[in-house]
């Protein structure tokens, strides 16, 4: 559950001295270990049982994906707020009920900010059958021209992905779909420094992570255990190259340490003591932060981005939502 207390402060440090000073490129040992992990992962995969795809994927490496994206337009896909939004799922009952009108105003302001940061915003209409449908991030993972349509971990949310599938297919993306018994929410998937990390949580299982691995074989996936909280990105997001905002609690620190071990201390951490404030949205040289959770910490975030924009999404916090939850952002 999001906590709005602002009485704590942020400290900028790495969890260990070895992760606070990084070389400009990963050490040779890391490259060798990562290659071995990819080979071992690929040997264990069963493609047909985890995903179905509308077309086959070319295989390459992280550099080929990055090269393919150069010179392309950044796109954001969002979804409207339904009349039923007050019934959206929450780990804990909010202190005050969701204000639908205010939620729609906040969503409109969020979308307007995105319009100034990307070349195109595509809006999918709300569906009253799915109270959580504004949290579109959970329905797809998109990297380059490849998309994995998820199978959300909450039964009440299964079906939200259908309209998202249609919208992405119309854009010409190569589509794969998670098949039962796979479950995965996009909020559990972090793409940073050309690497994919997948939180194994109450909403994402091993079969869902396998589907993610199969959908993006040229990248490889690192599973991370999410002991508490809703999603991996509820407490850990990318705020700059090789730099992650990490919530300053035992569980989030454990996730970051696990991530560091997998990548030979590839990342720096920026510790955030306010619960929920580590969920930020990094678009180009702009970093969006929650005005209600991280507004007082804006000066600390400015060292990482050309512009820091506080955004009020307090009504969405009541349904465990964060800034990343409300959009799919990728390049075409």
pLDDT digits (tens, 9 = 90+) for 269-291: 999 999 999 999 999 999 999 99
What is the average pLDDT across 49-71?
51
Catalytic site positions: 231, 325
- Tell whether the model's pLDDT for residue 29 goes beyond 80: no
Please give the pLDDT value at position 79. 99
Band of the pLDDT at 52, cuts 50, 70, 90?
confident
Residue-by-residue DSSP string for 138-188 = GGEEEETTEEEE---SSGGGTTTHHHHHHHHHHTT-EEEEE-TT----GGG
Please give the pLDDT value at position 126. 98
pLDDT tens track for 134-184: 999 999 999 999 999 999 999 999 999 999 999 999 999 999 999 999 999
Please give the pLDDT value at position 72. 67
Q: Could you tell me the residue ranges of all domains in the chain?
A: 17-54+61-331
> In CATH, what class is 17-54+61-331?
alpha beta
Greater model confidence, 197 or 49: 197
Query: What percentage of residues in the chain have a pLDDT greater than 90?
Result: 77
Please give the pLDDT value at position 51. 85
Distance CA 276, CA 187 (A): 13
Taking the chain, what is the end-to-end CA distance rounded to the nearest angstrom?
34
Query: What percentage of residues in the chain have a pLDDT greater than 70?
Result: 80
- Tell whether the model's pLDDT for residue 250 goes beyond 80: yes
Q: Record the tokens describing residue 196, joined without a space.
A: 């994919």
- As to burial, measured by CB atoms within 10 angstroms (0-12 exposed, 13-18 middle, 19+ buried), residue 127 is middle
Report the 10 Å Cβ neighbour count for 200: 18
Q: Mean pLDDT lowest for which of 22-26, 130-134, 235-239?
A: 22-26
Q: Mean pLDDT lowest for which of 36-50, 126-140, 204-218?
A: 36-50
Please give the pLDDT value at position 220. 84
Q: Mean pLDDT lowest for which of 58-72, 146-160, 193-207?
A: 58-72
Please give the pLDDT value at position 49. 65
Band of the pLDDT at 12, cuts 50, 70, 90?
very low
Q: Record the tokens describing residue 158, joined without a space.
A: 């299964």
What is the average pLDDT across 7-26?
34
* Average pLDDT, rounded, for the chain: 85
- Tell whether the model's pLDDT for residue 35 goes beyond 70: no
């Amino acid at each position: 559950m999001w906590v709005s207390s602002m009485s704590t402060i942020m400290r900028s440090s790495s969890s260990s001295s070895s992760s606070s000073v990084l070389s400009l490129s990963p050490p040779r040992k890391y490259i060798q270990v990562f290659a071995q992990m990819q080979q071992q992962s690929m040997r264990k995969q069963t493609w047909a049982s985890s995903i179905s795809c509308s077309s086959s994927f070319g295989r390459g490496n992280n550099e080929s994906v990055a090269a393919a994206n150069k010179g392309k337009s950044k796109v954001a896909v969002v979804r409207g707020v339904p009349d039923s939004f007050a019934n959206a799922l929450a780990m804990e009952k909010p202190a005050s009920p969701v204000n639908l009108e205010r939620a729609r105003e906040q969503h409109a302001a969020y979308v307007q900010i995105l319009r100034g940061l990307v070349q195109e915003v595509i809006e999918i209409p709300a569906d009253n059958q799915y109270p959580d449908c504004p949290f579109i991030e959970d329905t797809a993972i998109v990297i380059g021209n490849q998309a994995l349509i998820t199978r959300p971990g909450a039964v009440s949310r299964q079906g939200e992905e259908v309209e998202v599938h249609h919208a992405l297919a119309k854009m010409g993306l190569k589509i794969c779909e998670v098949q039962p018994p796979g479950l995965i929410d996009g909020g559990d998937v972090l793409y940073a420094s050309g690497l994919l990390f997948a939180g194994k949580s109450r909403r994402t299982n091993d079969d869902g992570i396998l589907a993610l691995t199969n959908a993006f074989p040229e990248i490889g996936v690192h599973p991370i255990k999410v002991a508490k909280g809703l999603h991996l990105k509820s407490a850990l997001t990318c705020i700059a190259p090789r730099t992650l905002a990490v919530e300053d609690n035992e569980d989030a620190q454990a996730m970051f340490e696990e991530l560091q071990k997998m990548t030979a201390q590839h990342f720096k951490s920026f510790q955030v003591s306010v619960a929920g404030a580590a969920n930020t949205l990094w678009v180009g040289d702009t970093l969006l932060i929650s005005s209600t959770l991280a507004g007082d910490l804006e000066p600390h975030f400015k060292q990482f981005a050309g512009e820091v924009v506080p955004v009020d999404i307090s009504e969405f916090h009541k349904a465990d939502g964060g800034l990343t939850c409300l959009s799919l952002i990728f390049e075409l």
